[in-house]
Structure 1
């Protein structure tokens, strides 16, 4: 897998497939680019150049001790886009990955379209609970989080072998990156960047999100972005891009094609 070293000497693992208008997929905590497996082939088949990457501390990317806040992760995204020479790329982000996607779009002015799926952007008391668990019981905490991400009304919405596959990628992440990303989440204040967005934005919320209330993971975000569109995936969990991939892919691809 190719790697790119940022100006801060952090090596990022990425994949770059397909041809056509570029789209960058940004995974959320605590997952790597493997989260996007249901999207890569579909997006490439629809005529896109698809770029995925492992955030610092996750997957095959380097594991620095510090620098796991939104600013550092946004700088990593910027460096990768610049390295690949992507001009007016679309950015599709999920969960906490929406934080660096919003910051990058607001700062650079170079994003053609932005999709925020199950966005985690506002401070939530759950972050404090998870941070405490991460300090002493990281693996059980991750197991619980992955159950919530893929559950509807307390019942699994994803087959167990696939959930455990994704859990293994989360367990293999850097412990300090796991904790640092949680701290960044709990301190988030995206209001200014959301108000600065001046591009087509689609917010995709999951109706039965067990990790973030749908009103925070959708309606509140859309209301803060001038002219944004809001759509809901019925009967879907936080990780709807995996469990409802056909509907989710069609919704996002239709928006990218407009």
Structure 2
């Protein structure tokens, strides 16, 4: 069933909620929606888990306000969903931009609620290069992408999807994925990229106490594998699960391996 959840700020967050059992909450990446987790939506309820997929503000079926795209604002949106659904013990999964948002949520609201944290191709602890952090794209490259979005968002997203995968996928699949990004608001897409460009979670990693599993593709061109090393170096109780043949979209590049590893973590 779909929930339209009214937040403290008067906005509506959409969450898909399917199945029964231990809740597994999914937070998507830039610039798509909970629909990117279609395969998990199909499979987890069969295995006795409750799939909950949140559309972040500005994306998918959620409201698209003018200026609610910081990690704090999005973490609060996740918090509002968790409270509305009365979740007390659950597994939190964050993909790409959803990774740092999941970290911020856990530290700010969910330390007692998140039993396991899964970071998939996470844009954490920092997405862009800065002092003592030579990984990822330069801030100027993020600025260029923002300028391109303002000029021709569809073309920018089409170019982005070409970087997303290391394996070949069918053209209909690629079109489907491309259109998920087009569902987002233009201003939300831009301001979320500004958050990716500017935010820094290096000091927050040490506060994560939940068992954390870092799924990361060795061929990731968007969030390099160096990110995984930085995350596990800061999160005490963490395990890296490398995907040798995957780019950023490891859920699709090595779909069967991802499902196997996901079930192993959930059942462990």
- TM bin, normalised by shorter chain, reads over 0.9
**What's the secondary structure of 2:17's corresponding residue?**
strand
Matches of 1:83 and 1:32 in 2, distance apart? Answer: 20
Alignment match, 1:36: 37
Given the alignment of the two structures, is residue 116 of structure 1 paired with residue 127 of structure 2, yes or no?
no
Alignment match, 2:231: 221
Offset, 1:234: 1.6
**Aligned with 2:153 (options 131, 138, 142):** 138
Matches of 1:127 and 1:219 in 2, distance apart? Answer: 22
Matches of 1:235 and 1:123 in 2, distance apart? Answer: 22
**Aligned with 2:171 (options 157, 160, 176):** 160
Given the alignment of the two structures, is residue 149 of structure 1 paired with residue 160 of structure 2, yes or no?
no
Superposition map of 1:55-134 within 5 A: 55-108=56-109, 109=111, 110-121=113-124, 122-124=126-128, 125=138, 126-134=141-149
Q: Number of residue pairs matched? A: 253
Deviations 1:140-188 (A, max 9, x none): 11111111112x2xxx532221111121121121000000100000111
Contact 1:4 1:12 in 2 (8 A): yes
Matches of 1:203 and 1:243 in 2, distance apart? Answer: 16
Matches of 1:111 and 1:90 in 2, distance apart? Answer: 6
**Aligned with 2:198 (options 187, 194, 206):** 187
**Aligned with 2:214 (options 203, 206, 219):** 203
**What's the secondary structure of 2:142's corresponding residue?**
helix
Matches of 1:139 and 1:30 in 2, distance apart? Answer: 11
**What's the secondary structure of 2:105's corresponding residue?**
helix
Given the alignment of the two structures, is residue 241 of structure 1 paired with residue 238 of structure 2, yes or no?
no
Matches of 2:70 and 2:168 in 1, distance apart? Answer: 31
**What's the secondary structure of 2:53's corresponding residue?**
strand
Offset, 1:209: 0.8
Deviations 1:195-231 (A, max 9, x none): 1001100001101112222112x11111111121001
Matches of 2:252 and 2:180 in 1, distance apart? Answer: 15
**What's the secondary structure of 2:188's corresponding residue?**
helix
Matches of 1:70 and 1:225 in 2, distance apart? Answer: 19
Offset, 1:2: 2.8
Matches of 1:133 and 1:93 in 2, distance apart? Answer: 26
Q: Which runs of 5+ in 1 are unaligned?
A: none
Contact 2:6 2:12 in 1 (8 A): yes
Offset, 1:91: 0.4
**What's the secondary structure of 2:94's corresponding residue?**
strand
Contact 1:34 1:166 in 2 (8 A): no
Change beyond 3 A, Cα 1:157–1:222: farther
Offset, 1:123: 3.3
Alignment match, 1:172: 183
Matches of 2:121 and 2:183 in 1, distance apart? Answer: 24
